[in-house]
Amino acid sequence: MRIRSSLALTLSLCVAVLALALTPFVGAPLVAQGGGNTSFEVSGVAVDVSASSAEAARQAGWRLAQRKGWVMLSRRMGAGGGGLPDGVLDQLVSGIVVEREQIGPTRYIATLGIRFDRARAASILGVSAAFTRSPPFLLLPIEWTGGAPLAFERKSAWLDAWARFNAGNSTIDYVRPAGTGPDALLL
């Protein structure tokens, strides 16, 4: 009996060590949130544009959002908030995030997020593209449901807010387990 219990304990420890060793290779259990260090993001850019068609209104809205987003980023970075020509903005913008939009036959109303290439934008703004990040910070949200804690949450308001948060712009290196592979066992 004693041999069986020590064999079971040894086997359990081996499985745990193996799970820890294989964690980087199973799925991608640690999910880094946001766009990494490759972009500056400005969110909450509101546009309301009319044009001859829905597509023309959307394109005009996105163009206006790029201009407004650059002014917002420039002010935030302390560069005064001056505008840039559309050709330069086209080279700086690495993505547009639709936060909310309404499209009509000739009108486009939206709230957008604009991502600017970090290196290019930093050189124009006169700031450093590099920034120091903290050591990884494990973020493990706990939701209480029916009196019991739930670590790997279902669809919730918190998860929606986290998905909108661009952790890549933060000096804190957030890491949130995805809940796949051995995450549930190890955490």
- Residue ranges covered by each domain of the chain: 22-35+131-186, 39-125
pTM of the model: 0.57
What whole-number distance in Å separates Cα of residue 37 and Cα of residue 169? 7
Span 4-51, pLDDT tens digits: 444 444 444 444 433 443 333 333 232 333 444 567 888 899 999 999
Is the model more confident about 95 or about 159?
95
Is the model more confident about 179 or about 76?
76
Collect all residues with Cβ–Cβ distance below 8 Å to 156 and sequence separation of at least 6: 143
What integer pLDDT is reported at residue 110 of this predicted model? Answer: 96
Span 91-148, pLDDT tens digits: 999 999 899 999 999 999 999 999 998 888 888 888 766 666 678 888 777 777 788 7
The two three-digit tokens of residue 161, written as one number: 């807010």
Tokens 């050709």 map to which residue?
A: 87
What integer pLDDT is reported at residue 102 of this predicted model? Answer: 96
What would you measure as the largest C-alpha separation in the chain, in angstroms?
Answer: 83
Pick the CATH number of 39-125 from 3.40.50, 3.30.70, 3.30.1660, 3.40.1350: 3.30.1660
Is the model more confident about 155 or about 43?
43
Q: Do 49 and 67 form a contact (C-beta atoms < 8 A)? A: no
Collect all residues with Cβ–Cβ distance below 8 Å to 108 and sequence separation of at least 6: 47, 48, 49, 50, 51, 54, 57, 58, 60, 61, 101, 102
Assign 70 a pLDDT band (cuts: 50, 70, 90): very high
User: What is the 3-class SS of 154-178, one letter each residue?
Assistant: CCCHHHHHHHHCCHHHCCCCEEEEC
